[in-house]
Amino acid sequence: MLLQLKDICFERENRKILDNINLDIDLGKFVAITGPNGSGKSTLAKIIMGIEKPDSGKVILNGKDITKLPIDERAKLGISFAFQQPVKFKGITIYDLLKMAAQKQITKKEACETLSKVGLCAKEYVDREVNGSLSGGELKRIEIATVALRGAKLTIFDEPEAGIDLWSFNNLIQVFENMSEIIKGTTIIISHQERILNIADEVILMKAGKIQEIGTSKQILEKTIGNTTCCKINNALK
């Protein structure tokens, strides 16, 4: 067992944002989390990374209780997190960020290779600043590249498809379909996209801070909406 969440509760402003979450994730699995907006998916991911601390409950990685560990120590233990909204900087270039992610000296050529894998024409990008001059889709890809370079044991993606236009999305799906090439280890991916859910080993459905259901993508999609049109998931669950 790579990751165990035990009785995780997180309450803010008298609202139970996460209500007693229990979850085990096996080594090497590709797990998707889906569910309506506001159901607590991002909060759960942040609790695993240590960006938020649960009010009660435990986070266990490889049998070790990491509930109280800060973000950077969890990162060093092998957890990696791609933000739903990538962070922008001033003056830090894509190459700088990739070097930090790799935690070692990498050449521009290696950085470019990683960028190519997420579908960015590398030469044009590597020296650009990670700032508002990049489009949402570009920032998302860079976010995915930083995470990919870390080669972590456990990688969490928060809605990698969000903010990416349909055309780019098709490319991005390929990136995830070839995920094993980029990321070795266990993957948790928060997504609303049927094509992403379809490549997952298991799909976790969240609703109102609780885990409603765990199953294959087919089971989850059929149970919740009776058909498998991805875009309808949200509406149907609301």
Positions in the binding site for ligand ADP (CB under 6 A): 12-13, 17, 37-43
Does position 191 interact with Mg ion (CB under 5 A)? The reply is no
Looking at the Cβ atoms of 18 and 122, the one nearer to ligand ADP is 18
Looking at the Cβ atoms of 83 and 220, the one nearer to other proteins is 83
- Using CB under 8 A as the binding rule, the residues of this chain from 56 to 85 that contact other proteins are 70-72, 75-76, 80-81, 83
Residue 34 binding partner per list ligand ADP, other proteins, Mg ion, none, with a CB distance cut-off of 5 to 8 Å that depends on partner kind: none
Looking at the Cβ atoms of 96 and 113, the one nearer to other proteins is 96
Residue 13 binding partner per list Mg ion, ligand ADP, other proteins, none, with a CB distance cut-off of 5 to 8 Å that depends on partner kind: ligand ADP
CA distance 26 to 28: 6
CA distance 142 to 163: 13
- Using CB under 5 A as the binding rule, the residues of this chain from 12 to 51 that contact Mg ion are 42
CA distance 79 to 47: 12
Does position 93 interact with other proteins (CB under 8 A)? The reply is yes
Torsion angles phi and psi, residue 235, rounded to 5: -60, -45
Please count the residues of the chain. Answer: 238
Contact 66, 74 (CB under 8 A): yes
**Tokens representing residue 55 in the block:** 């009010």
**CB environment 1-29: b (16+ within 10 A), e (fewer):** ebbbbbebebeeeeeebbeebebebeeeb
Looking at the Cβ atoms of 27 and 71, the one nearer to other proteins is 71
Nearest approach in angstroms of CB 80 to other proteins is 7
Looking at the Cβ atoms of 42 and 146, the one nearer to Mg ion is 42
Close Cβ partners of 222 (under 8 Å, ≥ 6 residues apart): 228
Residue 72 binding partner per list other proteins, ligand ADP, Mg ion, none, with a CB distance cut-off of 5 to 8 Å that depends on partner kind: other proteins
Contact 31, 25 (CB under 8 A): yes
